Structure 1
């Protein structure tokens, strides 16, 4: 992200060195987090995550019961039964691991899907503001992308964006 911004600035600034470059900046995370829809997404994600957690817990409990039964009876099992039960336990454990990995992937994808309309809405507002005010670019100041911005040169539009997106 930093490299992209620096690259763009390296291309734009020399061309307009004599002209005043107008730009704005804002905190993407702060604005995104203040959107009312974001709270709804977070609540939906909590519900979905709790469903996956409940299923994971149920599967772990099932495995534990079978494992305890195996431990209690392993001395009395014939070798073929012992091998069969060990294979069953191994299969259950592998399925549980696979489910946990798939659940993480599905949660991440669900969050991205739920956030997509919010990101599109924010992008549309940024584009509109940029075009209306003649900004050459609008910077995202999150994650130390821009460690210093001279407030006399650029405009902080964080508060305005938060208000527009309510």
Structure 2
């Protein structure tokens, strides 16, 4: 009889343990993009991107004008001047490519720097909500990382986290 009761208890143990574990789930990106801090950071990054784009277009236009001018007069140039102009065009093109690469890296770094405090604030809000509600963990449902969550076993924490941020 003791063995039978022990056997039943051991079978029920996982059910008892799973009933005690609570978890939350949310779409991190949905909450992140709804934050006013995120909108401000995004606007700042977009403005910076527009400035870099304008400079790249200006450089490209300048290169195209020089190249068209070169094409018009190349037949009349002596070989040494022709090579000099070709070198100038090559150097200008290399500088434009280097600037584009630098701009991409600088934009990526600016984006990382701008969003870091916003993400930190969101992570803190998620942790606070998890502690308050007694969650063992919080699942991010973005990018189909978790295609199904049983709402009877977990709780959608999206609105609670949004409220904690404000």
TM more than 0.5: yes
What is the rounded CA distance, in whole Å, between the counterparts of 1:37 and 1:72 in structure 2?
Answer: 53
Q: CA deviation at 1:164?
A: 2.2
Write out aligned runs for 1:93-104 (5 A). Answer: 93-104=93-104
Would you say the 8 A contact 2:32–2:38 is kept in 1?
yes
Task: Give the secondary-structure state (helix, strand or coil) at the position aligned to 1:149.
Answer: coil
Q: How far off is 1:102 after superposition? A: 1.4
- Per-residue deviation, residues 141-166 of structure 1 (Å, max 9, x unmatched): 00001011000100101112122223
- Which residue number in structure 2 is paired with residue 161 of structure 1? 161
* Counterpart check, 1:107 vs 2:88: no
**Aligned partners of 2:138 and 2:121: how far apart in 1?**
16
Question: Which residue number corresponds to residue 69 of structure 1?
Answer: 69
- Mapped partners of 1:57, 1:146: distance in 2: 43
Select the structure of larger CA radius of gyration.
2
After TM superposition, which residue ranges in structure 1, 4 or more long, deviate above 6 angstroms? none
Counterpart in the other structure of 2:151: 151
Structure 1 unmatched ranges of 5 or more: 1-15
Distance in 1, Cα, partners of 2:143 & 2:72: 54
Please name the residue that 1:51 is paired with.
51
CA contact (8 A) 2:129 2:161 kept: no
What are the Cα deviations for residues 130-150 of structure 1, in whole angstroms up to 9, with x where unaligned? 222221110000000101100
Distance across 2 between alignment mates of 1:40 and 1:129: 24
CA apart distance, 1:87: 1.0
How well do the aligned residues superpose, as a CA RMSD in angstroms?
1.3
The two structures have a TM-score, normalised by structure 1, of 0.86
Query: How many angstroms apart in 2 are the aligned matches of 1:74 and 1:147?
Result: 63
Alignment match, 2:128 = 128
Could you tell me whether the CA contact under 8 Å between 2:56 and 2:100 is conserved in 1? yes
Structure 2 runs not aligned, ≥5 long: 1-12
Q: CA deviation at 1:73?
A: 1.1
TM-score for the superposition, normalised by structure 2: 0.86
